[in-house]
Structure 1
Amino acid sequence: MTKTRKTIGVMVGGITDDFTRFLCKGLREAAKEQDVNMVVLPGKFLDRDYAQNTDIMYEYQYDTLFSSVQKGRLDGIIVAANCIGCYTTKERMVEFMHHYDGIPCVLVSSDLEGYVNVSYDNDRGIRQGIDYLVQDLHYTKIGMVGGPKENSDAMERKATFESALWKNGILPQEKRYVEGDLTGNAHSTYARLLDDNPDLEAVFCVNDETAAGFYEELKARGLMPGRDISVFGYDDTEWCSQIYPTLSSVRADVSKLGSKACELLCRMMQGEKVSSVRLPTDLVIRNSFCRGNQEEVDARNDVLEKYESMNHWADELFGKQKRVNFEMKNFILKLLCFEKGTDQSFGEILATMEWLKIHNAFLYIYEEPVIHLNHELFQMPEQLLLKARELHGNVENIPAIHQKKKAKNIFRFSRLGMSDRAWMVTLPLYANEMLYGILVCDLTDEVLEYGEFLSNQISAAVKMLNLLKNNEDIQKQLEESLYVLKENNLELETLSKKDPLTGICNRRGFFEYAEPMLKKARAAEKTFLVLYADMNNLKIINDRYGHEEGDYSLHTIAEILAEIVQKEQTGDGVVARIGGDEYACALMTEKKKELLLQELYDAFTVRNEQSDKPYNVTVSIGACALEPGDEHSLADALSLADEQLYEVKKLRKKDVAKIPLQA
């Protein structure tokens, strides 16, 4: 009987950061030794406020990957809990981990009670650093850039830092400690530390990324690390010996965390009882520690060697980047060549990924796109459509009758045709709040570097295919509708001016009735007002409450617009539905457009308050007033109103429920 290879899930915060990259390096080697499949699930960060940065405001969709982790789908999980939870509380992290009760689990660099954990011995390396600064360099004014108080590693490093100062007879001062965010972007934090402590002699940074950001702040002030202020970091990432001046750092080999975590989890899955492990750390001294006159001598002696080394490294980097830029452009061009939204196009998507050295991949699409707003609970659909797969470099489209796959089997790689051991990553396919599916593919070194770019571009391609397919379906429906109309000998001339759903005019009727009204207004030297209205959130109402409720909403908008327009007694008026959720109004009026717009918005407010529907029906409206003497055409006025509508829509709320949905 053939032994089934076990599959381990690795839950991390992001795919392209240094921690994940080095963790995966150790995991990959250990998975090979243990002969297990491994799939990395790069979520992001629980409870992070994405709305503050428009560049990343939809990255919360990465967290939906964690919903694929369920008992029976994976044999065990390795969780970088401190990384995932660096923006949230310990209590929230405990609640998060309870979702995976019953699955063998090992945490990496985290200390949640009740879990086996592989972490660093933070104490040793940090103490070595402080001892060196005090005893060898005779410093007494030492500061620290720490991490969030919710991060146990950051708090342990702070405690060790303060303890080491006490041991050396130095009283820790509150103003010499600032809390960063574990990235190199907290420049206001670095600035506060330097402004409040102009006499600082040395600074310990909670990790190397923080140290890199602190370097930038020092150099911006004309200060040189290693000459004016000594600096040391934590992790000893590979670029510590490449930046200038080279960074002293506590060597904490992340890859060893990964390999040890894999070893412990495999033993746990075999029924063994295992305990938490702490791995040793050591200080690596480089040029970011001031060395007085000797440093100046060393710098003079090393300058030519460093210059030649940096030139060679820069040439290699430039050549690599040039090749990558070419591959990226070629990749994007291939993804933009689709003409039809057919299933064959999904195979073409997988065929574009060879530049990332991907040889195995599975492209899953949800049967219908899913709207997922931030902070809402997400549950992966029980069934997905496997549109295409790549095995050993051979891409094939899956016939429609074989596409349906149960979500519980998406990580059972042998059932999907893979005979070799799997080393994979799962990436979300999304556009803003719309989720389309997932991509499961080989986790190569190239994917570790460009994985988010890959996810973004494949997502854009899938969205394009979805739009093309919808357009083709609509075109087909239109053709069928026209055929039925002709077959039944309907009064096409009348119907062509009327919207069948709401009973008001359609686009053609709008222009036919509004054009003579505009001429009449100009002859009478009256103001002619053109409105362009757009229903807010029709897609959300259709998906959550049903298409009948969507139709009801469209009809309600037509009624309210018609009521307000008909109340104007100064001339003729017309109301039309000119698109799926778009309306146009035209009328002669003596009112200011702002007053009429307010009457419209008030009418919607009253209708929603009186309605027993669980949702609000709202619109965004743009307006253009053609005053006497204004020569703009009706089409011009509609375009100007549409431009104003575009600005108004930026302020619309995306939640329609009268009682907000609970996350």
Structure 2
Amino acid sequence: MKKSDRYNIGILIGGVHTYFPKEHIRGITEAARELNVNVCFFLGTQTKDFFEDLLGGTHKDSFDYQFKTIHDYSLIGGLDGLIINYGTLGLQLKNETAERFALKFNSIPTVFLTEIVHSPNCHSLICDNKNGIHMVMEHLINEHHCRKILFVAGPSQNTDANERKNTYLERMAAHNLPVTPQMIAQGDYSEFVDRQVQHLLDDNPDAQAIVFANDEMAFSGYRVCEQRGLKVGKDILITGFDDCERASGMEPPLTTVQQDGVLMGKMAVYDLIAKLDGSEVLSRRVPVSLCVRESCGCQEKIPEIRSTPVNLTEQIHKLNRTITNMKLELINFQRKSWFILSLARNLNDCMDDEYAFLLSAMENMRELRTKCTYLFLLDEPVIYHQNDEWISPQNLRLAAYYRDEETAAFHLYDRQPVNAENGICQLMADNDRHQFMVFLLFSGEKQYGLLACDIQPEEFPFFYVISLQIGLSLHYLEISKVEVLRRQEMSRDLELVRERNRELGLISKYDELTGLLNLRGFTEQIKNFCSKSEHQRAYIICADLDHLKEINDTWGHPAGNFALRSVANIFNGCLRSQDIVARTGGDEFLILLNCQEKNFQDIFRKRVRDACAAFNAESGKPFLVEVSLGITEFKPSPETDIPAIIEHADKDLYEAKKLRKNSVRRP
């Protein structure tokens, strides 16, 4: 062992909802505690079988294929050694051999469980499958004189399953017993192989016995036989392999091959630590024994049956312990299941704030009394379709954690990256020993990261559901982020539209040449003025630039534009800020004055005439800028007939224009 640091060992394991992987986990957990090493379980599971059994058909929306990717995250785990339960992972790795898989991970010392590999830096631990099936077949043939024995095989890519199937074929051949393809069914090690067993019995109505490659599939055999009215142990004999916790409690008790999964898990840890300490460790097989019970036709009371490795009292105690533990797990799960609703609600309340979302997730882990929890997120979700080539992401970061009664979360720019030099275990390291269960966070085809919880193995089912809920909530958070961005874009677009409308409003109300109001703008202003300035004295002034045509024709349109702008400036100089002036046509202007002086017409005419003279004295142009004015006094009110007043002023302008000069050319 290292003197200063604990070893960090990783466990790649799938099928953790089934019996034997759970036994391996128990053994690994006990050995890790005894040897004071840190453990990270990279967990995979399969839900498809459960859905199919529950729904009675193929579950098309299963995303179990995502679980085959979690083992790649161990490559950035910061691990010293690795235990690979390939027998469970291989069910998902249909296109990858054990040898190729081993080469991917053999940069560190590796122990393969339930698989034989010959890669450097790896060695294997596998049960004695051949001897186990050999004992079963000899017992059925010699003790029960069976001749028509059927076989339900495990996954074709699994070494345990292949060895068991091959031994079945060898023993049948050794006794000159015929085997046809219809006598063998292809199973998957799950309890849900009912259809395969149905077909097997349909094709072989005279079958005397069925040998199952593991206990889980044998339970399916019990169920099918009961449906057909066949009594197990009398009408047909059934055997299994593993001696799982339910085997002795079946009716009748299941004859099986006992292999010690807990022992195998412990051996794997001890072998790996020995390798890390520099010792040479060889591959080996774990011994098995035949556990004879009533499903093969034997009776417990027969004294000459001595193959059972534990006596009946010990079996009863084992079964009682199993039942008690299962009840406690169920009660605990039921109590905690209410928490899932609270978790979903708490996380959904934070959909507009990722930082608050992360803190809420860690607060919930604190309430669940995990020893500590770490949440690792990808910078961007990875979309992984079932038939795509998997490429392990390189942008995983520590996003939040709960430890020592403290919760913390980090914004994206503050998150520490996970890489080969600064791995998952290093980011979770402290002075305590830990046993992390690492769950993949995904929703449908999108992966979001990992959730690592320091919990006991029996808590796995509940926290597996928790991880599914967090994955779903991360999906909703992503959608919420997209919606926020869309709303921001829409807000920016809306503000841009408003700004353009304001610009269009200005354009529609103002004269581009002079900057004065145009007719539309003047009309709106005078209407507003009349509605608010009732019974006051006011004046409407119509004005024309004298001889604009002469200026344009003689000196060009730029000169005419100059003259028009000059008139606008002259009027602005003669008016107050509250007065309104507009250019309403080519050479036409309108002015609104609010003035209490009587006979203001003559005063204003003189003011404009003097302003024009002053301008002409300084302009240096070969023409004069002069205007004619028509002025009408009125008292504004909401009922004021504005067009009539403008018409009256325009008539006065017409009379004034008769007095203008014949030309604006300078003398």
Q: TM-score, normalised by structure 2?
A: 0.65
Q: Give the CA RMSD over aligned residues.
A: 3.6
CA distance 1:492–1:136, change in 2 (3 Å): farther
| Contact 1:90/1:150, CA 8 A, preserved across alignment | no
| Contact 1:485/1:492, CA 8 A, preserved across alignment | no
Matched, 1:76 2:77: no
CA distance 1:191–1:430, change in 2 (3 Å): same
2:363 matched residue in structure 1:
351
SS at match of 1:343: helix
Which of 196, 217, 233 is the matching residue for 1:189?
196
| Contact 1:44/1:60, CA 8 A, preserved across alignment | no
Matched, 1:67 2:79: no
Superposed CA deviations along residues 209-257 of structure 1, whole A, max 9, x for unmatched, are 1101111111111112223212111111111123322222111111222
Letter in 2 for 1:109: T
1:255 matched residue in structure 2:
262
1:220 matched residue in structure 2:
227
Which of 95, 103, 106 is the matching residue for 2:108?
103
Letter in 2 for 1:375: N
CA distance 1:224–1:350, change in 2 (3 Å): farther
Which of 178, 197, 207 is the matching residue for 1:200?
207
Return the alpha-carbon distance in structure 1 between the equivalents of residues 88 and 65 of structure 2.
15
Return the alpha-carbon distance in structure 1 between the equivalents of residues 301 and 428 of structure 2.
63
Matched, 1:360 2:372: yes
| Contact 1:413/1:422, CA 8 A, preserved across alignment | no
2:485 matched residue in structure 1:
473
SS at match of 2:41: strand
CA distance 1:291–1:492, change in 2 (3 Å): farther
CA distance 1:468–1:36, change in 2 (3 Å): same
CA distance 1:427–1:323, change in 2 (3 Å): same
2:472 matched residue in structure 1:
460
Which of 138, 154, 157 is the matching residue for 1:150?
157
Which of 128, 134, 141 is the matching residue for 1:127?
134
1:419 matched residue in structure 2:
431
| Contact 1:76/1:269, CA 8 A, preserved across alignment | yes
CA distance 1:492–1:387, change in 2 (3 Å): farther
SS at match of 2:62: coil
How far residue 288 of structure 1 moved from its aligned partner, in angstroms, is 1.5
CA distance 1:134–1:393, change in 2 (3 Å): farther
Return the alpha-carbon distance in structure 1 between the equivalents of residues 111 and 290 of structure 2.
27
| Contact 2:77/2:425, CA 8 A, preserved across alignment | no
Letter in 2 for 1:274: V
| Contact 1:388/1:398, CA 8 A, preserved across alignment | yes
SS at match of 2:200: helix
Return the alpha-carbon distance in structure 1 between the equivalents of residues 134 and 493 of structure 2.
78
Return the alpha-carbon distance in structure 2 between the equivalents of residues 148 and 312 of structure 1.
29
Matched, 1:4 2:10: no
| Contact 1:389/1:398, CA 8 A, preserved across alignment | no
Matched, 1:93 2:105: no
Matched, 1:245 2:252: yes
SS at match of 2:294: coil
2:295 matched residue in structure 1:
288
Return the alpha-carbon distance in structure 2 between the equivalents of residues 249 and 323 of structure 1.
35
| Contact 1:384/1:405, CA 8 A, preserved across alignment | yes
Return the alpha-carbon distance in structure 1 between the equivalents of residues 472 and 217 of structure 2.
33
SS at match of 1:156: helix
How far residue 380 of structure 1 moved from its aligned partner, in angstroms, is 3.9
1:646 matched residue in structure 2:
none
| Contact 1:21/1:448, CA 8 A, preserved across alignment | no
How far residue 35 of structure 1 moved from its aligned partner, in angstroms, is 2.2
1:20 matched residue in structure 2:
21
Letter in 2 for 1:365: L
Letter in 1 for 2:236: I
Return the alpha-carbon distance in structure 2 between the equivalents of residues 491 and 172 of structure 1.
90
Superposed CA deviations along residues 626-645 of structure 1, whole A, max 9, x for unmatched, are xxxxxxxxxxxxxxxxxxxx
CA distance 1:261–1:309, change in 2 (3 Å): closer
Superposed CA deviations along residues 267-320 of structure 1, whole A, max 9, x for unmatched, are 22222221101111111122312248979xxxxxx9xx99x9899969767745
Superposed CA deviations along residues 315-338 of structure 1, whole A, max 9, x for unmatched, are 767745643443444444444443
2:665 matched residue in structure 1:
none
Superposed CA deviations along residues 425-476 of structure 1, whole A, max 9, x for unmatched, are 2222222222222212224234422344222111011112222233233333
| Contact 2:375/2:400, CA 8 A, preserved across alignment | yes
| Contact 1:82/1:109, CA 8 A, preserved across alignment | yes
Return the alpha-carbon distance in structure 2 between the equivalents of residues 221 and 491 of structure 1.
84
| Contact 1:356/1:447, CA 8 A, preserved across alignment | no
Return the alpha-carbon distance in structure 2 between the equivalents of residues 191 and 312 of structure 1.
29
Return the alpha-carbon distance in structure 2 between the equivalents of residues 123 and 397 of structure 1.
53
Return the alpha-carbon distance in structure 1 between the equivalents of residues 223 and 470 of structure 2.
35
Matched, 1:442 2:449: no
1:650 matched residue in structure 2:
none
SS at match of 2:440: strand
2:282 matched residue in structure 1:
275
Superposed CA deviations along residues 399-439 of structure 1, whole A, max 9, x for unmatched, are 55532323336745454353212211222222222222221
CA distance 1:381–1:407, change in 2 (3 Å): farther
Q: TM-score, normalised by structure 1?
A: 0.65
SS at match of 1:149: coil
Identity %: 25
